[in-house]
Every structure is written in structure tokens, then in C-alpha cells.
A = this chain, B = another copy of it.
Amino acid sequence: MQVHDIQAALQQRIDDKLTQFISQQCLIAEELSAAMQYSLFAGGKRMRPLLLTLVGDMLGAQKDDLDVASMAIECVHAYSLIHDDLPAMDDDALRRGKPTNHIKFGEATAILAGDALQTLAFEIVLNHPLSEKAENKRLEVSRILAHASGLNGMCAGQSIDLMATGNTISLDALTELHRLKTGALLEACVSIGAALAPDVDVQHISTLQSYARTIGLAFQVQDDILDVVSDSETLGKPQGSDSELDKNTFVSHLGLEGSQSFLQKLHHEALQALHSLPYDTENLVAFTDYLVTRNN
């Protein structure tokens, strides 16, 4: 099976499982539930679940356990996008070609929907049934998720991004910013995939984490390149929005060609990390190639 077939199948499965899970919840506040579901099912490609699943699969974890963690990761991801799009943050009106959450539901409900999606992520990893073998990994998985999301992870990255907007920061600072803002959650996907598998060598986990950081950075470099070379229809959001917001980007630091070479270097590094592992990394290689050649 090709990686995009795996992705399509996974996207459907995660959507189905999230739909089923949410239908079992007692949805007291209708508007809040609608806003949460709007962003959770906005057609996201489920790239984080794909990474988590490819790593977990490769290491021998059970699919159903990986799906539980994937559902939680998508809740965190959806919450972060809703809050990032708010007028006080990036003030984006479009996401994946659709009105952003606050445009559709108003700012107050969007803030709350993000809040409740974060909580839902923890409800899922803390409560959702796991296989017998994975049950004793539940705390570890929850801890990885919390660490990656908070003041030492994603939130820190977003805060540094805010502070940097309108100011010029160094390339190192830009790299650190994206290591936190995007990389922390990708690294968590790899760590959780490994945590749910039996007895993985710590050295191999460390290599996979380093791989995740590299592709996280590559993902962002490609994002910055696309913001310059693509068009709004393909992107599903306004092209050129980074420079309009006076954001520091890899293109503003390295130029377009410099960013493309940097992307190639990261691509090569990521493949080298995979190559050093004693596992069948074919799908992860395909995933890596896909990430750096994507056009939206």
C-alpha cells in the first residue's frame, strides 16, 4: 500500500472513530459542540496521526491503541489551529478553504471550543479503552501529550512566534520557535507511537525523535516556501499572509533558493536517520518524501 492510501484509510478511520466517540458524549452545550466538531472535521489530512501510526506500526504497536492516541493528538491540533486563527493571534479568516472557527461561530465560542478540545484530548487518552498491554502505558502517553502541548512545548512556540512577529529574530531563534510550535507535537507522535509498542530500544526512540524534529522543521520550511510560490486556492488560505503579518520565515531569512536548499538538507538528514534504524522504514521514507514535496 502506498503512503497516500494509508493516509486516506487512516483519515477515514480517525474521522469515524472521533465521530463515534463524540456521539457518545453527553453534549450539553450545543453551540460549543458544534464549534468543536466544525474544526475537528474540517478536512484535516491527519498528518500527525499518520506519523504516529507509521511509527507505531513499524515498532509493533496495536492499531486500535494508536488510533486512541491519534484522536487525542487531533484534538490538540484542532484546538491550536482555532486559537492561532483568532483575531488577537494570526487573524485568519480562512483555513482549508473554509471560514475559520471564529468567523463561523464568533470569537467567544471559538476560544471555548479550543479550550474544550484541549480538555477532550486528555479525556480521550485518560479514558478511552486500550488493549490490555497498552493500559499500563496510559499515564506515559498522557504525560507525553501534556509535555508537548504546554509551556515547554507548543504554547511556548506560539508565544515566541507572537513576540517575534514584527521583529527580526535570528535563524537559530526561528528554528527553536518552530521546534516548539510544530515540532513538539510531531515529536510527541513519535514518542507515543514508541511508548505503545513493546520494548523499543531507547537509542532507536531517540533517533526517531530526532527524525521528528527534522521533519517538523522541514514541514515549516516547506510551509514558508509554499506561502510565497503557491496560490490561495491551492493553499486554502490567502497566499502571502506571512509577509503581510511581518512574520519571520525561512524565506525571509534565507531567500527562496536558500530555503529550498535548506529543505533538501533537512530531507536528506531525515532519510539518514530512518536509514540508520533496524526496521522496515519504507512507509516512513514515503511519508518523509511526501511531506517535503507537498503543495498545500
Contact = CB atoms under 8 A, between A and B. Distances in A.
Interface of A: 25-29, 31-33, 36, 79, 83, 86, 88-89, 106-109, 111-112, 114-116, 118-120, 122-123, 126-127, 138-139, 142-143, 146-147, 149-152, 155-160, 162-163, 180
Contacts of A158: 112
Contacts of A149: 119
Contacts of A29: 151, 155-157, 159-160, 163
A155 B119 contact: yes
Contact of A123 (B114, B120, B147, B156): B147
B155 A83 contact: no
A89 B88 CA distance: 13
Contacts of A112: 83, 155, 158-159, 162
Contacts of A25: 151-152
Contacts of A27: 151
A178 to B, nearest CB: 13
B116 A150 contact: yes
Nearest to A110: B88
A114 B83 CA distance: 11
A28 B126 contact: no
B162 A33 contact: no
A126 B150 CA distance: 13
A32 B119 contact: no
Contacts of A126: 139, 142-143, 146
Contacts of A123: 143, 146-147, 150
A274 to B, nearest CB: 28
A223 to B, nearest CB: 20
Nearest to A142: B126
* Residue with the greatest number of chain B CB neighbours at <10 A, chosen from A122, A138, A162: A122
A180 B26 CA distance: 13
B116 A88 contact: no
A33 B151 contact: yes
Contact of A160 (B26, B28, B115): B28
Nearest to A148: B119
Contact of A116 (B109, B114, B143, B155): B155
A119 B150 contact: yes
Contacts of A33: 151
Contact of A150 (B107, B120, B180): B120
Nearest to A124: B146
Given A142-B142, A150-B120, A159 B88 contact: no
A28 B114 CA distance: 23
A86 B87 CA distance: 12
